[in-house]
């Protein structure tokens, strides 16, 4: 039996205030559905975090609605669970009627009592057991025990309620959690590290296979436990460049994993060098998402605007930490420190901005005018807040 496994799409996500929806649409049209057409899976599995926010943007909702419609028309079952980013209550809408079309979406901890049974052309039976991400307070009510419990203890209780008594079949758990000892990346948010929030891998020993979402890097915390990882990169710091879908081939005595590489519409790349070098012919123009790290010994005036002419999708810029600080750079380091501790006034910030970023020596009139504007704005805010 072949399962196409994926997770953590995060539809509607923004990085650096840039919507990723176009890139996500491209992945769906040029990677996800072509994989379905080429490999003809018996079932599609999405292990949570379909959306990036509990109240997803309407465009993201429309995109996933289109995905479900296309899959239903293909006649391929889909089993999906909600993750910590998904609005479980909203995603529960219409789930019962969708089952008639082979679309199974599970949204609450009590759904662990449910299951989806599949039989392939060779007669192999596989049971898919859903265990969505859950809020501990809801799980305590499900357990019938309002005493304080850690997440792992509540998770263990949910697992104990799953029926694994059918010995003539393969049992596959689909869940959204953090396995103890797994690797993290900066693109994950809402991930609790350490303590009772991480699930020991031995909890999954009774299962033939565990398909997990939540972590964005592809990894196998145990022989029978696998994360697909997100199909797109959502952080410049993510070391894993090769994103993938996973084709899982289950037989009566073996399970094989085949990675299906995902080639994105745009890569996330960090480029490093001097400002002049990055603008030179030595560096090719690119439509990728770029984060530039400048090695110049002095700050450049409006570098983003000038770099954007060559890299239209540049998202961020910073100066290398190993750049030696001259006298004015030392002043900037001190300014940054004082900004962090809030030991600096508005007038001094404005003065430093004109000197260090604009190369302008502020006059007393400039500073007095700034003080006047600040007073005017502050006075207006006070009046607006008055009863």
In tens, the pLDDT along 56-88 reads 999 999 999 999 999 999 999 999 999 999 999
| pLDDT exceeds 60 at position 95 | yes
Q: How many CB atoms lie within 10 A of CB 309?
A: 10
Query: φ and ψ at 5, to 5 degrees?
Result: -115, 130
- Nearest CA to 174 among 248, 240, 122? 248
Q: What is the pLDDT of residue 324?
A: 44
Distance CA 261, CA 231 (A): 9
Least confident of 61-65, 270-274, 293-297, 338-342: 338-342
Helices (H), 75-135: 88-91, 95-98
Tokens describing residue 57: 């943007």
Q: What is the pLDDT of residue 350?
A: 81
Mean pLDDT of 230-244: 83
Question: Each residue of 161-192: pLDDT tens digit?
Answer: 999 998 889 999 999 999 987 776 655 555 44
Please state whether 383 falls in left (phi above 0), alpha (psi between -120 and 50) or beta. alpha
Tokens describing residue 353: 């901005």
Tokens describing residue 301: 């005036």
Q: What is the pLDDT of residue 384?
A: 54
Enter the DSSP assignment of 5: E
**Residues in contact with 280: Cβ distance below 8 Å, sequence separation at least 6, in sequence order:** none
Mean pLDDT of 193-219: 87
Q: Write the CA distances from 293 to 195, 258, 303, integer angstroms.
A: 36, 36, 11
Q: What is the pLDDT of residue 194?
A: 44
Question: Each residue of 353-386: pLDDT tens digit?
Answer: 776 556 577 788 888 888 888 888 777 654 555 4
- Nearest CA to 315 among 243, 239, 233? 233
Ordered by where they begin, the domains of the chain are: 2-262 (3.60.21.10), 268-382 (no CATH)
């Amino acid at each position: 039996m072949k399962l196409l496994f994926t997770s953590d799409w995060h539809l509607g996500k923004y990085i650096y205030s840039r919507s990723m929806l176009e890139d996500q649409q491209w992945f769906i049209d040029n990677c996800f559905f072509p994989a379905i057409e080429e490999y003809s899976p018996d079932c599609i599995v999405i292990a949570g975090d379909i959306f990036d926010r509990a109240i997803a943007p309407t465009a993201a909702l429309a995109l996933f609605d289109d995905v479900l419609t296309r899959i239903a028309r293909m006649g391929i079952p889909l089993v999906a669970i909600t993750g910590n980013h998904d609005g479980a209550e909203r995603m529960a809408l219409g789930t019962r009627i969708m089952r008639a079309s082979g679309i199974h979406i599970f949204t609450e901890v009590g759904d662990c009592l449910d299951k989806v049974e599949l039989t392939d052309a060779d007669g192999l039976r596989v049971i898919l057991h859903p265990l969505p991400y859950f809020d501990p307070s809801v799980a305590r009510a499900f357990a019938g025990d309002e005493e304080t419990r850690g997440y792992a203890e509540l998770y263990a209780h949910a697992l104990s309620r799953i029926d694994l008594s059918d010995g003539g079949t393969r049992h596959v758990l689909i869940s959204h959690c953090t396995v103890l000892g797994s690797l993290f990346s900066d693109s994950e948010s809402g991930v609790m590290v350490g303590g009772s929030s991480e699930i020991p891998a031995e909890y999954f020993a009774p299962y033939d296979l565990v398909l997990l979402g939540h972590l964005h890097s592809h990894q196998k915390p145990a022989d029978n436990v696998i994360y697909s990882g997100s199909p797109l990169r959502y952080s410049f710091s993510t070391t894993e460049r090769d994103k993938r879908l996973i084709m899982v081939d289950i037989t009566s005595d073996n399970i094989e994993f085949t990675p299906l590489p995902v080639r994105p519409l745009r890569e996330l790349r960090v480029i490093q060098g001097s400002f002049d070098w990055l603008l030179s012919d030595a560096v090719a123009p690119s439509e990728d998402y770029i984060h530039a790290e400048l090695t110049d010994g002095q700050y450049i005036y409006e570098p983003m605007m000038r770099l954007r002419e060559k890299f239209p999708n540049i998202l961020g810029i910073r100066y290398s930490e190993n750049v030696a600080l001259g006298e004015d750079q030392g002043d900037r380091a001190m300014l940054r420190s004082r900004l962090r501790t809030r030991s600096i006034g508005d007038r001094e910030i404005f003065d430093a901005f004109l000197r260090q970023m604009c190369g302008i020596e502020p006059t007393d009139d400039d500073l007095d005018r700034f003080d006047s504007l600040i007073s005017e704005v502050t006075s207006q805010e006070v009046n607006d807040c008055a009863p």
